[in-house]
Chains A and B, each alone.
Chain A
Amino acid sequence: MFPLLVDSVSVAGIYALSALSWVLLYRTTRLMNLANGQFLLLGAYLFVTFLVQFGLPFPAALLVSAAAIAIIGALVYVTMLRRLAGQGEFTIVILTLGLAAVVDSLTTMIWGSNDRVMPSSLSDRTYHLPLNATITTYEIIVIVASIVLVGIASLFIDHLPYGLSMRAAAENPVLASQTGIRVGRVLAAGWALSLVAATLSGIAYSYVNVLSPGISEQLGLLGLAPAFVGGLDSIPGALLGGLLVALGQTLAGSYISAGSQDAVAWILMLVFLLFRPQGLLGSKRIERV
């Protein structure tokens, strides 16, 4: 059992990062971006391009691709979503569906649909833990990175002044602009942050597994499940949600059937939506009829 749990933790980290992208967007704009998976894939492809084609060292490739996707996210807001500001979240969610189709086709056109194995820049050593468990270098990095990134996000949004502005703008843009907050800029920044988090989760996943077009659904959309389990408006909840979903998948795989692993995350999410929509750590302000 213990080795399984240890294996789940690194997967939980990746899920947490994906969940973070959904939570960040919700906290800063009150929206859901159904094209999240496609942008995740786009960011990961950009990273691979900078790393392999351009030959940049790992940190530089990471920074450049994060910057690129942040700019793309801000542009998406400024060109399309800003215009629809008053029209209700429903319209915007549908618009992101349209975006998903476009970005999907674009990534296929530019990068094809073959999968890519990440060039291993670190020696992937396996460490042996008590009780027959093992953990690799990559897994340790992913776990540490996810905790650190979620911590930074939480600090930024919940405790720093700019984060305060973002939270105010998300809740009540007009009142926020009254206090002098540049609402347009702040919302664009929210989009940028969310997509960067998604990209990071995609990159992490690609190192542990493979970079393939399937991760737009498998990781990008799936991130909704840990997001709702932890609480759509709770940043630390992303970690908890990721852990629960990963554990749930592992247990289902061991005790029920392999196929159920696919469905467990979604079943968990549905259960929470029906019985505890605010998730484990979220606040109770849910849109009810």
Chain B
Amino acid sequence: MRRVTAAPPPASPLRRLASPRAVAVVVLIVGLVVLPQPLQGYQVNWVNLALLAVIGALALNQLMGVAGQVSVGNAAFMAVGATVAAGLAQHSVPPVVAVLAGAVAAAVMGAIVGIPALRLRGLYLAAATLALYYIVSYATNQYQTDTVGASGWIMPSFSVGGWSLGIDQKSWYYLLLIVVAATFLFLRRLTDRSRFGRAWHLLSGHSKAASAMGVDVARLTVQAFVISSFLIGLEGGLFAYYVGVLDSGDFTLALSIQYVAMIVIGGWGSMAGAAVGAVLVTLLPLGVETLGSSLPQTGAAGQFISANVPALQGIVYGVLIVLFLMYQPGGLARLAEVTAARAGRLARRGGGRGGGRARPATGPAAPVPAAGAARARPRSEIEPRSDIEPPAAPLLLTEGLQVSYAGGVFGTHSVSLYVLPGEITVLLGANGAGKTSTLRAISGFTSAEGARVTGGRVELDGRDVTGSPPDRMVGRGVVLVPERDKVFADLTVAENLQLSARGGRRRRAGGVGPSDAAALVGDLFPALAPLSARKAGVLSGGERQMLAIGRALLLQPRVLIVDELSLGLAPRVVEELMSQLQLINTRHDVTILMAEQSSVATGIAQRAFVIETGVTRWSGPPGEVGDGGELIASYLGTDLASD
């Protein structure tokens, strides 16, 4: 008998209306519309201030959270928008026009600021926005002195069409609510869905990748500044009309810090988070005052409290910034996400044990972890070699090594290899196969990129040394010459060597002796001597590699690990380096483990391992690498097969 499983009936329109999401949205809208009614005048006042702040917070979030630009200049853009609007208002320009003009003026300034942003990043840009704040501050003060004087600008009543708002808090509430909603929708439109929208997210910290993908970084960066400063200027203009009087001293550096606090507390890159952050930070003084009045007012304690409560605000949002950045960088938005994910998982599995993260690990499909599994081990489509057995006692050994990076990316899944004492071993693999991750894990260099060993082990002299920090590994005689950042670029050649010599002196017995090491470097790399006083950063590729190996030698290694020696070097230089490595190995008894993409090392190595997508695929004498199939030969170069 055939069992018929009926498909679930399509959701009727009524069903859709009753969906949790729709209900929430309706409740929200109704709530917002009805909000001012039960409140007293001054409470609506506070809500209006919060709404104004939301506009600025959304804008700053666009700039910092999404486009990844640093700015402490919020107050400056607000000042420009407000001052321009105020100046125009004195000449009977209609309020809506004045406010928009102020926003445009701020946007123009934003465009101007966006240009240095193309050339400066990080700290330098932050400093530039700071300078901007002070310059704007001075300019608006001068302008005020020259025009309206001490009393500041008195603003006429704000009117849209025939509707004049005056000091009616409730009318302002609805106007501001409309502006906030419009801003929300505008920004959401800008950064969602489209390829254009996704491009925004790439700006933050990945501009090189972004431009490689055809994103016009320059244009988008400037656009980010223009859009966000337009909105902040808009907020400034509305603020001026709302308060009714404007003074150039209204926009302080502390105000800029407050907006940053809003983004941090609410959640980087999250619009709803920015809005929540804006409301919280704006209403904080109210909360603090309420707290203050509910605490004892008399007695020594009471006097201390009432005298210090006003100062408490700064402490509260400062501490919140620090705590959130340290423990929950995603702010409240991420907190909500994580809580929801946990709650959802608990609900679905009825309390079963779940994984730690809200986001599933990327990479090959992650199965449901078995109960009691200490570390997740994803299946791999390529079966790791299980027959890797060292013929003699290895000096160094890894077994099933798994390295993961932050965000769930895997460097390796299961790498097994061994290094016999006195041999030169080469680790072969294409770009991204996992060579660097393996070598980092062995030498303790994992923290450099936020990596962690999450499976398998590393053994030295038969002892488990998995996860040891670099200095500990150097103490045991394992020294890595990394693929990137292999020398101190800002220090001179002499200083680079000096540091290693110092470090090498701490080494205990075994390996190359101190005077031997210095002499060795002088022998092997005489080319370095005349370059002693030069900064390592200006050396040529070959010279830098020599220095890197030289400084590694001064640390008196028993095992020298070299990652991608040949990268970017001319063949003749590579040849020379190879012969020097061979010298180091044979004459000074230093075991060598190398990682290479190409076949350059197979001439000097006694053993080869091949890694493919994070898994050891093959091992054996280097000459036989070609026999493993076309797949391997194809990316190692056909000259190998002809060896």
Contacts and interface: CB of A to CB of B under 8 A. Distances in A.
Q: Do A and B come into direct contact in the complex, CB within 8 Å? A: yes
Interface of A: 26, 31-32, 34, 80, 83-84, 86-91, 93-95, 97-106, 108-109, 161, 164-165, 167-168, 171-172, 174-181, 217, 221, 224-225, 228, 259-260, 262-263, 266-267, 269-270, 273-274, 277, 283, 285-289
A171 B138 contact: no
12 contacts: A34-B126, A93-B70, A98-B319, A101-B318, A167-B488, A174-B445, A179-B555, A180-B503, A181-B499, A262-B134, A277-B124, A287-B124
A101 B121 contact: no
Given A32-B126, A179-B503, A287-B123, A174 B448 contact: yes
A175 B264 CA distance: 32
B264 A225 contact: no
A167 B536 CA distance: 13
Interface in B129-156: 130-132, 134-135, 138-139, 141-142, 145
A286 B318 CA distance: 30
B138 A286 contact: no
Interface string B478-495: 011010011111110001
A97 B258 CA distance: 9
Contacts of B480: 178
A101 B448 contact: no
Contacts of B491: 164, 167-168, 171
Contacts of B308: 109
B325 A32 contact: no
B490 A87 contact: no
B315 A102 contact: yes
Contact of B318 (A102, A174, A273): A102
Nearest to B265: A98
B385 interface: no
Contacts of A105: 311-315, 318
B450 A86 contact: yes
A172 B135 contact: no
B322 A80 contact: yes
Among the interface residues A95, A174, A270, which one has the most CB atoms of the partner chain B within 10 A? A174
Contacts of B138: 259-260, 262-263, 266
Contacts of A288: 119-121
B116 A178 contact: no
A273 B116 contact: yes
A68 to B, nearest CB: 20
B471 interface: yes
B326 interface: yes
From B70, B120, B314, name the one whose CB has the most chain A CB atoms within 10 angstroms. Answer: B314
Given A164-B495, A180-B506, A267 B135 contact: yes
Contacts of B488: 167-168, 171-172, 175-176
Interface in B61-82: 68, 70, 72
B122 A98 contact: no
B502 interface: yes
B118 interface: yes
B183 interface: no
Given A97-B321, A171-B491, A108 B311 contact: yes
Nearest to B485: A172
Interface in B231-282: 253-254, 257, 260-261, 264
A285 B124 CA distance: 12
B474 A180 contact: yes
A282 B245 CA distance: 46
A267 B499 CA distance: 41
Nearest to B127: A224
From A97, A176, A274, name the one whose CB has the most chain B CB atoms within 10 angstroms.
Answer: A97
B318 A98 contact: yes
Given A93-B70, A174-B448, A269-B127, 18 more contacts: A32-B127, A87-B329, A97-B260, A98-B261, A101-B261, A105-B314, A106-B311, A106-B315, A108-B311, A175-B488, A179-B471, A179-B474, A224-B130, A270-B132, A274-B116, A287-B123, A289-B208, A289-B217
A90 B122 contact: yes
A195 B118 CA distance: 32
A95 B265 CA distance: 12
B518 interface: no
Nearest to A86: B450
A221 B134 CA distance: 11
Contacts of B328: none
Contacts of B319: 98, 102
A89 B448 CA distance: 15
Nearest to B449: A86
